[in-house]
Every structure is written in C-alpha cells, then in structure tokens.
C-alpha cells in the first residue's frame, strides 16, 4: 500500500516542487484537491485527515489554520512556514543539527521545516557551539546571498516580468535587522542572542549561501581555521547531505569567485572555511528550493516514514 500524501498549498513555489519530487515515486499516492476547493477548509480537512503525511506550503496564518483541521492522531504534518519552528511541540526538520535530532524528526507527528537562510546559518554555527569552540554569547554576524524564488510566487513574477530596473542588481533587505528567521537561528544555533543578519536577493532563480564572520580572538578557546574546519568535518562525517569542503578550497572558486548556485538541484549543503589567524569565514551553500525548502521537507518525510532518507533526492 503506498503512503497517502497531501500537499496543502500545491500551487505555490514550495508545494509545486514537493509535488515534482513525489510524482515520480511508486511508494507514494498523492491526494489531489480540486482546484476550485484548494482554499476551502472543509475540503482540506478531508484530505489532511485521509493522509499519512500532509505538507503545509502556505503562509503562516493558513498553516496554523490547517493544523487546527487535523482531527486524528495518525497524520504527520510537515510545515514549511515560519509558524512552528521554535515551538517545543514541533521537531525542527534538520536531522543533521545535533545528536538526537534525527530521532526527534523520525518520531514526531509535527515537523517544522527550517527557513532556507536559517538552515545554512545553523548548520555553520551549531557544531562550533556544541564543541565549546564558540560560546553561546558570541555575537554572530552573517549575510545571505539568495535567489529570488525564496520570495515565493509574487517575487518570482516580479523578477521574471523583467520590467523593474532595480531588480537587475543585488538588493540587500531586512535592514530593520529583524528578519523572520532570527528566532530559529538563535534557538537552534545554540546562541544566547539573535545574530546580525542581512540577506541579499539577486537576479537568479535559486541558490543560496550564508557567510558567517568569525573573530578567532573572541572564541571560547584558541582556534585556527583548521580547528574550525576539523570541528565541522567531525560533526558531519556521516551525513550524506552535508559536505565539508577542503580548507581554503581555492579549487572550488572560479578565479577567486564563489558560485552561489553550486548546490542547485540537489538536497546538499556544502560548507566552506576560509581564513587566517586573524579572520575566519564559514560559508554554507544550498539550493533554497532543495535543502532550503522542498528537499528538506521530503527528507523529513522519508525519515518519518522509515524509508531511505535520500529516496527521490539528489545528493
Ligand atoms: N520559497 C521558498 O524558498 C521557501 C518558502 N517557505 C515557506 O513555505 C510557505 C509557502 O511559501 P512559497 O511556496 O514560497 O509561497 P507561494 O506564495 O509561492 O505559495 C503559497 C501558496 O499558498 C496558497 N495559499 C494561500 N493562502 C491559502 C489558504 N488559506 N489555503 C490554501 N492555500 C493558500 C497560495 O495560493 P495562490 O496561488 O492563490 O496565491 C499559494 O499557492 C511559506 O510559509 C514560506 O515561508 C519555506 C522555505 C523556502
Ligand atoms: C528571497 C526571499 O525573500 N527569501 C525569503 C526566505 C525564504 C525562506 O526560506 O524562508 P521561509 O521558509 O521562512 O519563508 C526571505 O528572506 O524572507
């Protein structure tokens, strides 16, 4: 018997991508909602409760509404929105995060898929905090370069219309320094305070990298770029979806330039460490629609259903 899966928000950017992943799988039966009824709570309630797993690919308010429609204790809900990412009753859908996280995701019926920027930052920071190299009080600063698909249907339409001149160059945003991913960055990064974080959206569809700045003299214990690199390498040694690249990986640069799109169409995160005795940066690269959203959601579903975590995903 195939697993029954419902995608609430099937017409959106994340929903469509999840649909693509699932439609090629023989072990999955996708429950489809009638186009005209896709925002109707009664129709959604029926399909949510008929499913083994429901993905919510909706704005936060609609996600909360959908969770309220679950009236059985069998359906697992995997939510792509920001609504539940630091809720203690939900598992944060990043199995690679820390010891025990994979089991938490596997065993939970409520899984919150991390934000794309947050996945990249948290995967860069958390092992350093857990290893005691960075104190929780460390003042983390980071920026993200992201493709425009992260902004959903409206932003995609604006960029692809090609009529707004300002969209041809990179645009920093969230300059109120209260980006919606800060709470999960703090909470799951193991940090005492929220980072200073400024994303920049560029004129390309997908691909994301978060660069985090480190001052070695502010570490909890003395450490070089090689120590940071060794810490990340050890933490992710058995992870299929996280690659720690060679220290100061010039071979992966094009004449010194970094490729933000290098993980596109995969569910992979590539982690880089560059630096010297005075200054270090880590860079985490992913596909914001892959490991940053739909790929991560499918990985969590696989884990929860007890099938191979990488089923249907490109490493
Ligand atoms: N894009 C990305 O890279 C990522 C997005 N996310 C999160 O995933 C969620 C979806 O984002 P994204 O796919 O980008 O957004 P989109 O705007 O592309 O899609 C959202 C979809 O939800 C539908 N919708 C809105 N309200 C309701 C409702 N009440 N009932 C049913 N459907 C509804 C919309 O309908 P309509 O088509 O009529 O507008 C649209 O199809 C958001 O919470 C976002 O934060 C998470 C990680 C990354
Ligand atoms: C370019 C762009 O606007 N990106 C979105 C992030 C998309 C994402 O992963 O975050 P959510 O899952 O929290 O929506 C932003 O920075 O708000």
Domain count, the chain: 2
For residue 96, what are the domain limits? 3-114+292-305
Instruction: Based on the fold, state whether residues 282 and 137 are members of the same structural domain.
Output: yes
pLDDT digits 0-9 by tens, 88-105: 999 999 999 999 999 999
How confident is the model over 36-45, as a mean pLDDT?
96
pLDDT digits 0-9 by tens, 4-25: 999 999 999 999 999 999 998 9
| Per-residue model confidence (pLDDT) at position 233 | 98
For residue 305, the Cα-to-chain-centroid distance in whole angstroms is 20
pLDDT band at 55 (very low <50, low <70, confident <90, very high): very high
pLDDT digits 0-9 by tens, 199-234: 999 999 999 999 999 999 999 999 999 999 999 999
- Mean pLDDT for the chain? 97
- Answer yes or no: is 313 within a domain: no
Q: What's the CATH number where 90 sits?
A: 3.40.50.720
Residue nearest to atom 15 of ligand 1 (CA): 152
Tell me the C-alpha distance between 311 and 25, whole Å.
9
How confident is the model over 279-294, as a mean pLDDT?
98
- Answer yes or no: is 23 within a domain: yes
Instruction: Based on the fold, state whether residues 72 and 208 are members of the same structural domain.
Output: no
Instruction: Based on the fold, state whether residues 141 and 248 are members of the same structural domain.
Output: yes
| Per-residue model confidence (pLDDT) at position 1 | 87
Q: Establish whether this prediction's ipTM goes over 0.85.
A: yes
Distance 61 CA to ligand 2 centre (A): 16
Tell me the C-alpha distance between 43 and 50, whole Å.
11
Instruction: Give catalytic status of residue 116 as yes or no.
Output: yes
3-class secondary-structure state, position 279: coil
pTM of the entire predicted model: 0.97
- Answer yes or no: is 129 within a domain: yes
pLDDT digits 0-9 by tens, 163-193: 999 999 999 999 999 999 999 999 999 999 9
- Answer yes or no: is 310 within a domain: no
Instruction: Based on the fold, state whether residues 181 and 88 are members of the same structural domain.
Output: no
Q: Where are the beta strands (DSSP E) in 161-305?
A: 171-172, 196-201, 208-214, 242-244, 269-275, 280-286
Instruction: Based on the fold, state whether residues 184 and 197 are members of the same structural domain.
Output: yes
Instruction: Based on the fold, state whether residues 284 and 216 are members of the same structural domain.
Output: yes
Instruction: Based on the fold, state whether residues 125 and 263 are members of the same structural domain.
Output: yes
Tell me the C-alpha distance between 138 and 140, whole Å.
6
How confident is the model over 262-267, as a mean pLDDT?
98
- Answer yes or no: is 311 within a domain: no
Instruction: Based on the fold, state whether residues 32 and 59 are members of the same structural domain.
Output: yes
Distance 181 CA to ligand 2 centre (A): 8
Looking up tokens 């195939």 gives 2
Instruction: Based on the fold, state whether residues 159 and 284 are members of the same structural domain.
Output: yes
């Amino acid at each position: 018997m195939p697993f029954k899966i419902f995608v609430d928000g099937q017409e959106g950017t994340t929903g469509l991508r999840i649909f693509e992943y699932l439609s090629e799988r023989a072990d999955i039966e996708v429950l489809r909602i009638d186009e005209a009824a896709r925002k109707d709570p009664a129709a959604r309630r029926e399909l949510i409760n008929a499913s083994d797993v429901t993905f919510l690919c909706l704005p936060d308010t609609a996600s909360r509404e959908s969770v309220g429609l679950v009236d059985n204790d069998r359906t697992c809900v995997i939510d792509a929105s920001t609504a539940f990412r630091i809720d203690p009753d939900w598992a944060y859908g990043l199995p690679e995060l820390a010891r025990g996280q994979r089991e938490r995701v596997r065993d939970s019926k409520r899984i919150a898929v991390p934000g794309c920027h947050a996945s990249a930052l948290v995967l860069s920071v958390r092992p350093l905090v857990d290893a005691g190299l960075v104190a929780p009080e460390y003042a983390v600063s980071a920026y993200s370069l992201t493709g425009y698909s992260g902004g959903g249907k409206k932003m995609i339409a604006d960029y692809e219309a090609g009529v707004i001149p300002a969209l041809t160059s990179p645009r920093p945003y969230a300059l109120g320094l209260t980006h919606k991913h800060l709470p999960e960055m703090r909470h799951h990064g193991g940090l005492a305070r929220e980072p200073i974080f400024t994303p920049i959206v560029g004129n390309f569809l997908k691909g994301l990298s978060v660069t985090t700045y480190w001052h070695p003299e502010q570490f909890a214990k003395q450490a070089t770029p090689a120590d940071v690199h060794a810490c990340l390498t050890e933490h992710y040694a058995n992870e299929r979806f996280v690659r720690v690249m060679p220290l100061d990986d010039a071979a992966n640069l094009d004449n010194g330039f970094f490729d933000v799109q290098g993980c596109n169409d995969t569910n992979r995160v590539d982690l880089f460490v560059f630096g010297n005795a005075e200054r270090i940066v880590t860079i985490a690269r992913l596909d914001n629609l892959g490991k940053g959203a739909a790929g991560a959601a499918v990985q969590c579903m696989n884990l929860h259903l007890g099938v191979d975590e990488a089923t249907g995903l490109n490493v």
